[in-house]
A and B are shown apart, each in its own frame.
Chain A
Amino acid sequence: MKVKFQWKLLFQIFWSFFKISPVTFGGGFAMIPFIIKEIVEKRKWLTHEDITDVIALSQTVPGAVAVNSATFIGHRIGGIRGALAAMIGVSLPTFLIVLSLGISYFFVQDNPKLEAAFISIRATIVAIIVYAAIKIGKTAITDKTTFFIMTVGVPVLFFIHPIIAIFLGAITGLVAVKIKQKLGYTIDLQKSKNVDPTTDPDYFMGSGI
């Protein structure tokens, strides 16, 4: 009896996220209203506060916010199996969509019209990346120290592996805060968290895609 119930619950978790997943255009934050509607209002699995917690936590853990928050919610509802069900549910539709687009691209890639389109699109992608940098820069650059880390980081990346740079960035953060505190400076570590992702439509890109 219990086993049967488990499978039903797991399928419900999977199906809830399977339905929500295709709306995650342009980042996981687009998913939040749909998660609230499905998980809080319809299924009544979790409360509003739970969702706010989960979203905050999902940004702290590496990985996409959409995937992390689904996995966290799945875990709260149904343990490790629930986490897996939610993750597969949220990933499968976009996997199939992206794969079909990839396959279609390889079928028509030699078409001169498509080649021409991609010449222009590649310039636009650079603009989208710059846009993402501006967006995340707005929350990341809060004082002279963070500006300095960003400025030094760019030339450094031409010489060291990006993964090493990420670790160096994290260590620099720890050390910089310690030094500043010893020197008697006050650092506003909360400043970057002023933006509430659930209400600010501006927050959908750059961070947590």
Chain B
Amino acid sequence: MILWELFHTFFIMGFVSFGGGYAMIPIIETAVSDYGWMTAERLTNMIAIAGMSPGPVAVNSAILVGYSAAGIKGALVSAAAILLPSLILVILVAALFIKLHHHPVVEKIFYGLKPLVTSLIIFAALKFALANNLITINISFRSVSLVIIFGLSLFALLKLRWNPVYVIVLSGLIGIALYS
């Protein structure tokens, strides 16, 4: 049952969702390929739309993957599944008056968790680069131009400090000019 697959994937993801949406891509990607919801290329498109939209990338990705896999019902189930852990944990933490912030055990956990979240994001970048032929031994107009687009995008984000939404829109226009 696809709705159940979506629910438990995003429900569990909600409990380990540290470090922002892009760190969650490996979990989504694993589930997408295990259950065969869609191709890696379409998943990248979904993540792109999630990144362009207002709201958290993890929640947006869940909504789009859910919609793509099972229509509006899938979107609703996935959104509820990823939000529910936040509700449970926040109520628990607030009700128990747990002082998580600056708690010694929490700080020790985060000492190892944060670098691992960084690994997760690097891993996501590698996977997507491979899936979208950014890392390839085939030298063609497309593969070279894609590497240039990648480099320019990173430059715009890191050095020019552009808003990611603008970078995506501009990249789309370049794509239309180059590949259509």
Q: Which residues of A contact B (CB under 8 A)?
A: 21-28, 53, 56-57, 60-68, 71-72, 75-76, 80, 83-84, 87, 91, 93-95, 97-99, 101-103, 105-106, 109, 112-113, 115-134, 136-137, 139-141, 145-147, 149-154, 156-158, 161-163, 165-178, 187, 189-190, 192, 205-209
Tell me the complex Cα distance, A156–B16, Å: 18
Check if A124 sits within 8 Å of B153, measured CB to CB. Answer: yes
B53, B91, B126, B150 pick with most chain A CB within 10 angstroms: B53
The listed residue (B112, B128, B180) touching A176 by CB distance below 8 A is: B112
Additional A-B contact list (7), CB under 8 Å, known A99-B63, A125-B128:
A24-B56, A71-B86, A116-B178, A133-B122, A141-B115, A157-B120, A209-B21
Tell me the complex Cα distance, A32–B39, Å: 37
**List of A residues within 8 angstroms of B168 by Cβ:** 121, 124-125, 128
Check if B108 sits within 8 Å of A98, measured CB to CB. Answer: no
Tell me the complex Cα distance, A149–B144, Å: 33
Q: Which residues of B contact A (CB under 8 A)?
A: 12-23, 25-27, 30, 41, 44-60, 63-64, 67-68, 72, 75, 79, 82-83, 85-87, 89-91, 93-94, 100-101, 105-126, 128-129, 132, 134, 142, 146-147, 149-151, 153-154, 157-158, 163-165, 167-168, 171-176, 178-180
Q: Could you tell me the distance in whole angstroms from the C-beta of B50 to the nearest C-beta in chain A?
A: 7
**List of A residues within 8 angstroms of B63 by Cβ:** 95, 98-99, 102
**List of A residues within 8 angstroms of B134 by Cβ:** 123, 126
Check if B112 sits within 8 Å of A174, measured CB to CB. Answer: yes
Pairs across A and B, CB under 8 Å, 7 listed: A122-B45, A133-B122, A136-B23, A173-B108, A177-B111, A205-B164, A208-B19
Leading 10 A-B pairs by shortest Cβ distance: A173-B112, A153-B119, A120-B175, A169-B116, A94-B55, A64-B56, A140-B114, A127-B153, A116-B180, A63-B86
Check if A105 sits within 8 Å of B21, measured CB to CB. Answer: no
Q: Given A140-B115, A153-B120, is A56 in contact with B175 using a C-beta cutoff of 8 Å?
A: no
The listed residue (B48, B86, B167) touching A87 by CB distance below 8 A is: B86
Q: Given A119-B179, A133-B121, is A209 in contact with B72 using a C-beta cutoff of 8 Å?
A: no
**List of A residues within 8 angstroms of B165 by Cβ:** 25-26
Check if B90 sits within 8 Å of A68, measured CB to CB. Answer: yes
**List of B residues within 8 angstroms of A117 by Cβ:** 171-173, 175-176
Tell me the complex Cα distance, A61–B157, Å: 28
Tell me the complex Cα distance, A76–B67, Å: 33
Q: Could you tell me the distance in whole angstroms from the C-beta of A130 to the nearest C-beta in chain B?
A: 5
Residue of A nearest to B135 (CB): A126
Tell me the complex Cα distance, A163–B168, Å: 29
